[in-house]
Each structure stands twice: as structure tokens, then as C-alpha cells.
Structure 1
């Protein structure tokens, strides 16, 4: 780390030693485990829940084909990515972690969800069980004096909610918003299944980072498929989780469910060059991420490996990488019969080690159950599954009028208590504000640092990270000095890993932190669009409004510096198109500070767009506490002839043009929306009703721009008030050029804005 760790030249001859990676360490049978302390009841519980997973999935098969006799007329739609054959991993892993530990899951995650909650319910208190049931308790005949009675109802409700989610019912875990590929349950730390292959990799690292920084003792178990390990986010997440500056480690367990196939591509001998995916761990730290290969067809082996991994994580030795070998008995989905890429010989060999065949045999051999007892467990599980499926099919279809419910949180951290305040003893120096000039002005980039400092002092859950934000203070000096006050626990650098930066922020925010992550240039958000658009933006809604993601991604717009096409774009329209995000683009130091503080306190993901030309301007910024609500525009100049809407640096350009217009007798009303999402449509429409003319100024090219959205909203709201067509002053539809004459022509200037003002007015 800069100044703490000197990197000196060393060219000594030698070899790099890589420790061996153990395989199939667990060599005990059920009888040995019983002798070592596993109870017969616990062994039966493992079997029961493997049955629940298997029978649930087999019910989906029958429903999809229309052959499920209990509800023959029910039409099941939606994804069918089944985990038949992989039950030992789901149940064995969940039996090894604590009820409040986190998990992230995959598109093939029904089993993970069933097992996570089912195993948590096994150890839940009566109070927790009743809390889980909530109002649903009235559906069941419960003896409140009997924990067993309450547990039975809770388990039935769990299966019901799981089916209901797959069926798109209001009673589902996510109110039918997510379905089977996006199921979550925040009662017991299930942070969500993910339909994007590898999509949860970084979120798991972020949740684990939150657990470490909040010192709550939790670990995050991230279940990923073998195909996901070949995705770029896997590399970024592994690297993030193993950063040496995490002195207490990152308590995440990456458990690869290697079922041998991505979709149809075979991992061994086709789409990778290695026999074991666990070898990947050698690339990230000197202990191979404690990588191990595990028999994923044996719930006891999985339980043992995950238990040891969790212990390492709780002892500050994480992350851990486990590769569990298993097999997908069905195709990628039910439209895939596997005939094109799998042999009968291969399938039969794996069927011989089916955990739903071998584990009941072991129960009988160990004297835990006899054949009649096994059959009784099967019948009981089948009855529970059937009851849940029938009840879910009769569930409530969501009311279309509720379609917006769950999209955005209404809450903020505005009224937090003193328990979250940063203790003075944790500060490394005395907090100080930026020095003002005689007019109370500071550089706008100093307003960024001041807002961050104030919010970090106010709330110790706020952490700042990104590329070069620590010792260097960010590429533009906007975070300079924060590390000297808060230290590397709260302000730290990351690798050049935009997807990991944004994804970990999403995961950390769902696990209790309030991260402020920096993406140096907005051009680079394109490297992270899955994590921004598919994860952060969608998680709250997909999970039925139950997830909260208080995170800010700060980024900046360039241009005018000769940096050309990949460092000069204004890509606000890229992020405004994703429902679930708020987007802010201030144009002054006063607004930036007040809006950034509000963004940090907001319980939604916020993309906060700063401008590099605004950084170096000065503005009067109060030292005392203030915030500016998101969604409120600002009238910078009142006028009567024409409304000009401009944001970010273009507001300053429009200001010059308005002053020039005034000299020519034209009265311009200049509005800065400040927040693009939500947009202050009323302020703009009211102004247009007064002036009858609208000009929008922006740095981005015109085609598909945010200005077009503003124009649409104005025409929708007050078309009759418009005396002439709306016009947008924008960059040309070309990538930003480097040459000075071309760049000068491309970016709207005050003169160009003035010319367009006059043309719109017919002058």
C-alpha cells in the first residue's frame, strides 16, 4: 500500500511454489459421523430436506407438462432450471452455516432457497417461528404452546411461499415479482437468486465485507455454477475478496456447484483447460483461497467442508473456494433433453451416486431408519409438497394496479440515532472543513470531500472505495484527505475492477453498510452495466420490495480535454433507463454537497454524476449542516420568453448563453433539474406553460438522449402551451473526437446555445 509497503526491485532466480489443493478430504460414513456427535434426528433432518428439494423439483416437471394430478388444470409458466441431483449440496451446505448467515444463489436455486430457510427453521425459537409466519399463522391449526406445532406450520408456509413465488402469486416470497430465478428471503439471510450467470459473485463479496466491517460474525455462502467461474466477474470478485488490505479477511465462501455443464458446454475437455476449477484459487493468494474439491453427492462431505470453511472465515482467514462435484440429472431447462451432449453411460454412472438413493441406504445401514421409516419420510414429504403446491395454485394473482409497488424505498437514514455516529476514538486526526475565501467559496471538488466527511462522521456505516480514492485522493482530488481522518477501514483503494466495485456496493448495501463507490469516468460504467442495471437497479423490485440498497456510485463526466471517445462521454441516458435507480447531476458546489449528502442517506441506489469542469470552479458552500431533497429542480434565472433546461456542466454553458440573450432583449428562464431520476417534471412544465418555448441543452449526442425524455414529458404535459417545436442542443452523433477543432465543435458552446434560442423564438 502506498507509503506503507515499499515495492522494491527484486529479480532473484527461483520458482513460485503453489500449495497442493486437497480433494475429497472427508472419508467418513454416516455411522462414523453418528459416533462423532451427529444425532440421528439431525441425520433424518438432512434426508427430509433433500426429499423436499427433490419432490419440489419433480412437481415442477409434472406441472410444466400438465401431468400434475392434484391440480391438472393449473397452467405453470416461467423458468424451469431444476437442481435434481444436486440436493446434497443445498442441504449439506445450509446445515453447516448459521441461520443468519448470508447466501447468494443462482438461476438453479430452488433447492438453495428451500434448504436455507428449512434448516434455519429447525433451530428457530418459538418467537422467531411466529415472526416468520406473521399473519399467515391464522391459516394453520397451531398449538401455540407447542414449538413442534408452530414449526410444522412454518415449514408448510415456507414451501407454500416458495411455490407461490414460482407461480407468480402475491403470497410468494417476492410477491410474484421475481419468480423462481430471483427468489429471496430476508428473514434468514437469503440475499437472492440470480438469473445472470455469475451475477451474484461480487454481491457476495460485498455482503461479506459488510459483515466484516460491522463485526457481526456472519459469513456469506455464495453458490455459483461451474459456468459462472468462466465469467469476468468471477475474477474481479475473487481478487476483491482476497485483497491484502482486508486484514481480517473477507468472510465469503465461494461454493462452485460443478454439475459438469454450463448449459451444454462441458467444463472438462471442452470449455476450460483444467480438470478442476478449484485450481483457480491459486491465482488470488498464497493459500489458493483454501481451495478444496468436495464430493457434492454426499451431504455429510459438503456439510463438513462448508463447516470448516465457515470457521476459517469467522477466524479472519477468508475467502474460501470450494468445488463440489455433482451432476444435473435434468437438462439446463425442461426444453433440454440432454441427448445432444450426454451419453447414457455417463448419466447412469451418476445415477448410481444419487444422494436420494445413497443417503437413505446409509440411514438404513446405520440403523437410524428401517425401510418402512424411509418410506414414511418420503410419504410425509410428498404430502407437504402437494399441500403447498395446491394452496399456492389457488393463491392471489397480483393486482395490476400495484405494479409500481416495491420499486423504490420511501425511507432514508435521516433520523438515525447516535449509535451509528463514528466514535471520536476511531478518528485518526481532527476533522476540518475546507478553507473558504472571503465570499464563502470553495472548489467544487472540495465540496465532494466535505460532504463525504460529514456523512462518514454522522454514520459509521458509510464507507468510500474505488480506484485510487485513498492515499491519492481520487483522480480529481475529490476524496483527498479522507483516509487521513478515517483510515483504510473506511476509505480504501480497489483494483481496476468496475464491475466488482459496483457489485460489492450492492451486496454491502443489502448487508447493512452504506457504501459510496467511485467509478472514475462515466465511460467506465459500461464495464459494470450488469451489476448496475441487472443487480443494483432491480434487486429491490425483484425481491418484492424487501431488499434495501442504500448505495451511491459516484462518477464523473469529462470532455473538452482532448481525451477522445472513451474518456469524454456523457452517458447519463444509459443509467436513467433502468427503473430502480436514482440519478443526480448537479452543476454547482452548493447543490453537489447538499445532494450528495441526501443521496448517501437515501435507501435506494443512486448514480451521482459529477463533472470534471465543475470540479475546478468555485462556489459558496455553507459549512453548517444542510441537505437538498432529491427530485427538486432549481430555477437559476427567471424569464418569460423561453425555457432552457440544462444540467451538469451544460447549465454553466446555458447560463452564459442566457446572459448574452438578455443583452439582446431575450428573457430566458433557466432550469437545472439537478436530479434526472426522479425528474422535477412539474417545475419544467410550469415554466413552459409560461414561456411557450423549450430548449434543452446537454453534452451527450442527441439520438436516444435524456433530453428526448424531457421533451417527451413536456409535450405530454403541456403540448397545447408550446408555440414552436421543442429543440435539443446536443453533441453530434459521433464518438467524442480528440482533435481540438472537432471537440470544440462537438460540445455545445454558449454561442451555439444562443443561436438556437433565437431560432426557437423565430428571431
Structure 2
């Protein structure tokens, strides 16, 4: 399909207008907000209370690290200490402007975000919801040991106070690595999340959550939900590639309803020690970056991050724009961290005392206290009383959290995998709209065969018809049909709502898929070549693979990353690698590598229905090979190897295209009277090692093939497992026949030498048999 816009050679003289970005426009006071009905006096007192909780919470960490306070005799606090003291106005201003149903993503400096998001969400909960929250796992730490919950029948005010105590307790418990923590001690302070209030997780990778937030916003839009995502980032993140990819993705013109995401840059002036303005960028305000992403400058604005009212006003207006189709929005909140990057950094080596003092003179909490007094909302004595109340709340919560139970080491694997799928699909998800006239069914030949490539298409089409939550995106996958024409025709069937192109942004592709998966969609993201996945390794390894476990098994991430392996076509070192072993190093992501048309269809359908992330590897040299594929519905379970050929003399283990190489080698060896048993694992994670080992016990010899170089390849792992489990049955050492230890070369003669061939496999087998 020809593009709607013709890109013509227009070279008219003129200037490019970048527009203006407003800064520090807010000029009202608390009494103005109350008079206008934007806030009640109680709302204002609540905002101060949350800021005080955050300040005292983090002050407690400072005192513990300095040895000035111990919540329990002998207690030693370990873990990260990235504090946001001085930045409380951003957290409280932003969270007070959204609802419990809106999403946020946070940073390694995110205690305040989490405390504020949870606190304001509790205010919205019904009495029954508060009771449920109190009686959840965190409630055990608030009750006297051995006591039962006494919240039933309590007043609203009492319920709310108990819930707040639980909230602060569970936050401390997570920092202390306790079972009652929000993430059961799996994440700690840099990875805290609370999914029941829309907190999709703090992230220790600078900028790492930007693509997740973008994906969540796309998910909201595609599901027709009236929500918004706040993506909180530090100033250092705005220099990170995945953030820039994510901003571009959110601004894509094809998203005609806009993307409901607000990126909040907490510019605390330093990205560890690198100064945002004057050193590591060429800018005076980071909001200028917005001019590079759309013609509206992303509705960007610079806000005083030391004024909670200013932040609240800006976020409220930004949310309104995002919900009305004018998103995305970028806000730069200019603020300051009083402490160093962490408590191992006192901040004195790169900041003058005068600079720190100047910012402390603008302290957000002291400013807000004065606003309350000036507006007649509270007296100095009432504010002091509130502060004493907060200090007691925080102190007691820390004491109870320090005494809480540690996780049982026997539970170390809990939360890694979801044991569910969409196999039993609710009827509401089946009501999908698509163009039935464009549905393609590929005719089988007399043997019931179709191309491997067409089997992939059928799997995608059938699952998209079956489940309206399945969306497909990646580079050139829409009308063009992808680099290998695998997805050609899906755009015609499902349209741009469910099949769309992205920019060349592998990190944003993968990360946005995770954000979609965590918020209700089942995305299938394509990375054109597995070589390009190196552009997205943080998103694959630190985000996709870790999210479920790090957040205590609470989120599901039903997503598929489709990619291809090349080789054999003279494309050389950056388009011909087999990098599956890189991904198998990350617990939490399944890896599939089918070698036949039958398998690729059945396994892809299983992958799409799985509630865990899956890396699905297709081989380019298999796309034009035919295989028998039934027309009726079928799926193939993960973790079940198949014996392609039975034999008695030697076992060859091979997957993906190497299984084809092994079959040809087996034919060569058969001509010399040697019987080969060929085992195709089909899935690498999970790996059916039992079928492999049982075959080796029968034949007494084992060879594993790999298209990757031997050092560190997945074949070495299989070989280790064989030797570990079948050593007594081996008549010869296990052999790994792999590529040479050089990058894939381009020249035909060199590439043929580089990759295992049937002839080479046969020669090694003969040597193993003493022939």
C-alpha cells in the first residue's frame, strides 16, 4: 500500500519555527486555590502530611546509615540509599493531581513517588477496600504479634489511619528486604512497585522505565480507557537513548488520538555528579529537547519543582491535555537534591556550600507550611503537631518493619514464572473487529504442506482473530509486511489500530511491549534481526526478564518478541549472528527456536497465549522451506523436545536451522551404516533435558550443534547437562560442533567454512565412533 503522504522534493527558502516553551508561569497561592475550589483546606493539610512523611522516611534512612538510629538492636540496614530529600514537592504535587487508577513509573530515587502514590490512592478507596488492604500481608506487621485484625467496624478515619500505617510499614519492609515488603524483598528500595494502585515500578536503570510508560499509554489508548501515565525521570535520563526513542514513539503522527503520557523530568541538577546545565548538555533547560519530537513541542513546560502547588497545577493541566488527545506532554520540574547521589556520596566534591544553602532556602516543605499559615488553614502550632505525629508514624513503622520476617530461602523461585495463560479466553476478549474479506488461508499441497513463513502468518492471524488484545508492531511490519514479507496482509485484516510500524528504535519497541503487557494487552513485537536485539539488551535483560520476579510475581507480562536469525546469505557480521544464548542468561524470559513449519505455528500460538515474556526466534533460511501444517486448531506445549529421527549409534541435538543441518548429516552417516538419533529441543527455556539425556543413555554418544561460536553458546550448556546427567553412559566425550570463533564473514567461501555444515558434522561423528 502506497503511503498516504507523498514525500516530494520541496526546497523553499525559509526558517523552521520551533515555538516557545513556557517556564515558571504559576503565580498563585494556596488561598487562591482554595478560593477557586481547586483545593480544600483538608487537601492542603494532606499534601503537607505526605511531604512530611517522605522527608521523615528518608531522614530515618540517613540516621540509620549514620548510626544515629537503629529500629531494632543489632539491625543492620543494607541496600541502596538514593534519597529525594528536597524533591518532595514533585512527588506530592504530581500524585495529588492524578487518581488511583492512573499509572506511574518511577526511578531509583523513587521512595517519595511510591509513598505519595499509595497515600493518595488510599484516600480514594472504599471502607471495604481499606479493610482488604489492611488485612493483606502487610497487616501482619502492624498488628501486635499473634493478634487478629481489629479493623472491622472501625470508623472511616480509623480505617484510613491504619491503612496509612500499613502503607509506610510495607514501604520500609521492602527497603529492609522483608517478606511483608511490597515486593516481598525481591526488589528493595530501587525496585518498589504497588500494582493495585497503578505503580508499575521504580527502576534502577536510568531512563529504563520510559519505554514501559510509553507502552502503558499506548495500551490505555487502544483499550479506550480514560487514564493517564506519569513517567517520572531524572535529568540524567534525558540523555539516554531509550528515553529519546520513547519520546519519539509517543509522538508518532500515526497515533491520531495522541498518547496519554506525561513525562516529568525531575531536574535536580545532577545526574550523579554530572551537572545537567553547564556540563553534560548544551542546554539551559532540558525541556528544549521536546522541540525535537513534535510540532507542539510536546506541550512542554518548565515548572518550579520546589512548589508543590505549581507542580500540581502543571500536572493537572497536562493530564487534561493527555486525556483530550493532545498528549504526550513533557514537564521539566526544576528542583534539587540536598543529599549526594547516594549516602556513599556526601556531595561536597562537586557542589559548593553556597549552592546547597541557596536551594535549602527555597525548601518546598517550609514554603508550603508558610502557605498554610498565610491562607489561615493552619497555625504554626498545628503544623508542629502534625510533624510530631508524622515523626511518630514513621519511626514506629520502621521499628515494626525491622522486626518483620525475612523471606524464606525456600521461596527463592517464587514469582519468577506465571503458571497461567489465555488458553481459556473470556468471551469479552473474542469480540474483535477485523476485515473478514481479507483473511488469508494458504492452500496446502498434496502432502498438507505450506511454507514456514506462511505458518508464522497463520499463527499471528488466528491469534489476533481469537483475542482482540493481541497487537503487532515493529519496523516495517504493517502494509509492507516486514523485511521477509511474513506479516504481509495482516494490516489489511486488522488495520492500524492493531498492526503498526515503529521507528528504528529497538529499545523502545521492546520496552513499550512490556508496558502494554503489564496493562492489559498481549503485544507481539518484531525485532527484524536478532543482531539488532543488542540495541535493546537493557530492555530485554533488565526490564522484560526481571519485571515479574523483581516485583514479587504480581505483574504478568504476556508478550512475544519475534526475531530472526540470518546466516548463509553473505550478510556478514552484523546480520548473521545466533545470539540466543545471550538471552537465555536472563531468568524470566522463555526462548523458543522452532525448525519446522508445524512447530513454528504451534509454538507461536502457545507463545502468544503464555502469560510470560517469550523470545521467539525464526530462521531466515527456513522461511521458504515447506512442512506439513494441519488446517485445524493446534498448539504445542513449551518444554517438549521431539525426536526427529530415531537411531542407536549417536545422538545429535540441534534446533532451528541447525536441525536441518543435522538431518542432512544423518543422511550422510546413514550411507556409511551409522544410525543417528536426532533430538530437536524446540524450546531452549524451558529445556526438555530429560528427552535429550534419555536418548544419550541409549546411544552412548552425544553431539550438540550451534550456529554460534562455541565459547558461551547454548550448545555448551546442553553439553554440560548431558555430561552431568549421563556421564556413566557415555562412550566418548560430548562434542559441541559450532561456528568458528570469529564474527560471521561475508565471503562465500569463508561463510561456508564458518558455520557447521552437514559434512563437518558427519566427520566429527565418524571420529567419535572411531571411524
1:582, 1:52 → 2: CA distance? 41
User: Partner of 1:579 in structure 2?
Assistant: 587
Given the alignment of the two structures, is residue 25 of structure 1 paired with residue 34 of structure 2, yes or no? no
User: Partner of 1:58 in structure 2?
Assistant: 59
User: Partner of 1:314 in structure 2?
Assistant: 323
Structure 1 position 289, deviation (Å) = 0.4
Asked if 2 retains the 8 angstrom alpha-carbon contact of 1:66 and 1:74, the reply is no
User: Partner of 2:700 in structure 1?
Assistant: 692
2:74, 2:317 → 1: CA distance? 47
Show CA shifts across 1:330-386 (max 9, x none): 000001111111111111111111112111111112111111100111011111111
Show CA shifts across 1:297-344 (max 9, x none): 111110110011111111111110000000000000001111111111
User: Partner of 1:303 in structure 2?
Assistant: 312
2:597, 2:8 → 1: CA distance? 41
User: Partner of 1:410 in structure 2?
Assistant: 419
User: Partner of 2:106 in structure 1?
Assistant: 105
Deviating more after overlay: 140-149 vs 730-739:
140-149
User: Partner of 1:720 in structure 2?
Assistant: 728
User: Partner of 1:463 in structure 2?
Assistant: 471
Asked if 1 retains the 8 angstrom alpha-carbon contact of 2:71 and 2:402, the reply is no
Calculate the TM-score normalised by the size of structure 1.
Answer: 0.99
- After TM superposition, list the pairs within 5 Å mapping 1:703-742 onto structure 2: 703-742=711-750
Given the alignment of the two structures, is residue 752 of structure 1 paired with residue 753 of structure 2, yes or no? no
Given the alignment of the two structures, is residue 762 of structure 1 paired with residue 770 of structure 2, yes or no? yes
1:448, 1:239 → 2: CA distance? 29
Asked if 2 retains the 8 angstrom alpha-carbon contact of 1:411 and 1:603, the reply is yes
Q: What SS does the corresponding residue of 1:271 show, helix, strand or coil?
A: coil
Selected match of 1:559 from 553, 563, 567:
567
User: Partner of 1:619 in structure 2?
Assistant: 627
Structure 1 position 205, deviation (Å) = 0.2
User: Partner of 1:476 in structure 2?
Assistant: 484
Q: What SS does the corresponding residue of 2:678 show, helix, strand or coil?
A: strand
Q: What SS does the corresponding residue of 1:592 show, helix, strand or coil?
A: helix
Deviating more after overlay: 73-82 vs 3-12:
3-12
Asked if 2 retains the 8 angstrom alpha-carbon contact of 1:537 and 1:578, the reply is yes
Given the alignment of the two structures, is residue 81 of structure 1 paired with residue 90 of structure 2, yes or no? no
- After TM superposition, list the pairs within 5 Å mapping 1:235-274 onto structure 2: 235-274=244-283
- After TM superposition, list the pairs within 5 Å mapping 1:390-401 onto structure 2: 390-401=399-410
Asked if 1 retains the 8 angstrom alpha-carbon contact of 2:463 and 2:608, the reply is yes
Show CA shifts across 1:129-184 (max 9, x none): 12322345573542534222211111111101100000000110000000000000
User: Partner of 2:441 in structure 1?
Assistant: 433
Structure 1 position 434, deviation (Å) = 1.5
User: Partner of 1:282 in structure 2?
Assistant: 291
2:608, 2:432 → 1: CA distance? 19
Show CA shifts across 1:519-576 (max 9, x none): 0000000000000000000011110111111010000000011100000001111111
Asked if 2 retains the 8 angstrom alpha-carbon contact of 1:422 and 1:456, the reply is no
Q: What SS does the corresponding residue of 1:704 show, helix, strand or coil?
A: coil
2:106, 2:100 → 1: CA distance? 16
Structure 1 position 72, deviation (Å) = 4.8
Deviating more after overlay: 661-670 vs 285-294:
661-670
- After TM superposition, list the pairs within 5 Å mapping 1:196-235 onto structure 2: 196-235=205-244
1:127, 1:759 → 2: CA distance? 73
User: Partner of 2:35 in structure 1?
Assistant: 35
User: Partner of 2:385 in structure 1?
Assistant: 376
User: Partner of 1:167 in structure 2?
Assistant: 176
2:310, 2:765 → 1: CA distance? 73
Given the alignment of the two structures, is residue 158 of structure 1 paired with residue 159 of structure 2, yes or no? no
2:301, 2:33 → 1: CA distance? 20
Structure 1 position 234, deviation (Å) = 1.3
2:376, 2:119 → 1: CA distance? 25
Show CA shifts across 1:111-143 (max 9, x none): 000000001101111122123223455735425
2:637, 2:159 → 1: CA distance? 46
Q: What SS does the corresponding residue of 2:481 show, helix, strand or coil?
A: coil
- After TM superposition, list the pairs within 5 Å mapping 1:339-350 onto structure 2: 339-350=348-359
Structure 1 position 423, deviation (Å) = 2.6
2:50, 2:732 → 1: CA distance? 68
Q: What SS does the corresponding residue of 1:629 show, helix, strand or coil?
A: coil
Q: What SS does the corresponding residue of 2:573 show, helix, strand or coil?
A: helix
User: Partner of 2:120 in structure 1?
Assistant: 119
Given the alignment of the two structures, is residue 333 of structure 1 paired with residue 342 of structure 2, yes or no? yes
User: Partner of 2:151 in structure 1?
Assistant: 142
Structure 1 position 2, deviation (Å) = 4.2
Selected match of 1:743 from 739, 742, 751:
751
User: Partner of 2:146 in structure 1?
Assistant: none
1:393, 1:145 → 2: CA distance? 27
Structure 1 position 69, deviation (Å) = 4.8
List runs of 5+ in structure 1 lacking aligned partners.
Answer: none
User: Partner of 1:547 in structure 2?
Assistant: 555
1:69, 1:445 → 2: CA distance? 63
User: Partner of 1:598 in structure 2?
Assistant: 606
User: Partner of 1:453 in structure 2?
Assistant: 461
Asked if 2 retains the 8 angstrom alpha-carbon contact of 1:685 and 1:714, the reply is yes
2:26, 2:85 → 1: CA distance? 23
1:150, 1:759 → 2: CA distance? 76
Deviating more after overlay: 502-511 vs 427-436:
427-436
User: Partner of 1:324 in structure 2?
Assistant: 333
1:134, 1:449 → 2: CA distance? 48
Asked if 1 retains the 8 angstrom alpha-carbon contact of 2:432 and 2:467, the reply is no
Superposition RMSD in Å: 1.1
Deviating more after overlay: 357-366 vs 601-610:
357-366
May I ask how many residue pairs the two structures share in their alignment?
A: 762
Asked if 2 retains the 8 angstrom alpha-carbon contact of 1:494 and 1:501, the reply is yes
Show CA shifts across 1:53-90 (max 9, x none): 00000001111122115435310000000000000000
User: Partner of 1:191 in structure 2?
Assistant: 200
Asked if 2 retains the 8 angstrom alpha-carbon contact of 1:558 and 1:613, the reply is yes
User: Partner of 2:665 in structure 1?
Assistant: 657
1:243, 1:327 → 2: CA distance? 32
Asked if 2 retains the 8 angstrom alpha-carbon contact of 1:443 and 1:618, the reply is yes
Asked if 1 retains the 8 angstrom alpha-carbon contact of 2:478 and 2:487, the reply is yes
Show CA shifts across 1:696-750 (max 9, x none): 1111110111000001111111111111100011110000001110001111111
1:422, 1:436 → 2: CA distance? 29
Q: What SS does the corresponding residue of 1:607 show, helix, strand or coil?
A: strand
Change (3 A) 1:428 1:267: farther
User: Partner of 2:374 in structure 1?
Assistant: 365
